[in-house]
Amino acid sequence: MKTSKNVRYLTQLALLTALVLLMANTFLGYIRVGALTMSLLTIPVAIGAMLCGPLAGAWLGMIFGLTSLANAISGAGGLTFFAFQYSPVLCVVMCVGARVLCGLLCGLIYRGACRLMPDRDKTCAFIGALSAPLLNTILFMGMLVAFFYNMPEVQSKVAELGAANPFIYVILSVGLQGVLEAVICCIVGTAVTVPLKRLLKQ
């Protein structure tokens, strides 16, 4: 029984890893919005964190982050390209570290919600799915401001947006794309996780 569960766990993780990589190399993974990028990769990260646990979420977040880092290095990542030139180490922390934490915390939040509301599968999945894009935005943008706010390219964007401080800059930068990420991840994440969770219990 334990071997069967391990095989199922590894199979699920492998499929979700492949999905992250597939999405990262299509228009579904990264959608450029000005200097920033809207990403739907939080969807498989959230699903994996809820179905397979926090460590799986951290692994999928790392894969997500590595694809983001690859874009930063290649020049396809907008501001992250300049961030990598400014400080490769801090860029790795921002691109990869933020996404690892996102997946890990998403799994922990979902697990906590399930313990508090054991009979509310949809509500728990909604909370877990919502946490992924919110955490991704908060952690990534928080690190961008903490590490690179004084970078000329960021300051140029700050002036363009007329942001009075870093907090306003984050709000204005995220804008509609952050709302869209959250809505899409909530809908898809909940719709996929709830039936799969019930199916896997059988």
pLDDT per residue as tens digits for the range 24-72? 888 777 776 655 567 889 999 999 999 999 999 999 999 999 999 998 9
The pTM for the full model equals: 0.88
Residue range 102-127: mean pLDDT, rounded: 93
3-state SS assignment for residue 33: strand
Half-sphere exposure of 4 (CA within 13 A, CB side): 2
| Residue 39 · residue 181 · CB < 8 Å | yes
Res. 2 pLDDT band, cuts 50 70 90:
low
Residue range 71-81: mean pLDDT, rounded: 83
| DSSP letter, residue 139 | H
pLDDT of residue 34: 57
Specify burial of residue 153 (Cβ count, 10 A radius: 0-12, 13-18, 19+).
middle
Element (H, E) at 83: helix 79-86
Rg, the chain, Cα only: 17
Out of 39-53, 76-90, 111-125, which region has the weakest mean confidence (pLDDT)? 76-90
pLDDT of residue 65: 95
What type of residue sits at position 44?
P
Mention every residue, 6+ apart, whose C-beta is less than 8 A from residue 159: none
Out of 69-73, 102-106, 113-117, 195-199, which region has the weakest mean confidence (pLDDT)? 195-199
pLDDT of residue 167: 86
- Compute the mean pLDDT over every residue in the chain, rounded to the nearest whole number: 87
pLDDT of residue 1: 57
Out of 24-38, 101-115, 118-132, 173-187, which region has the weakest mean confidence (pLDDT)? 24-38
CA-based nearest residue to 133, from 66, 197, 44: 44
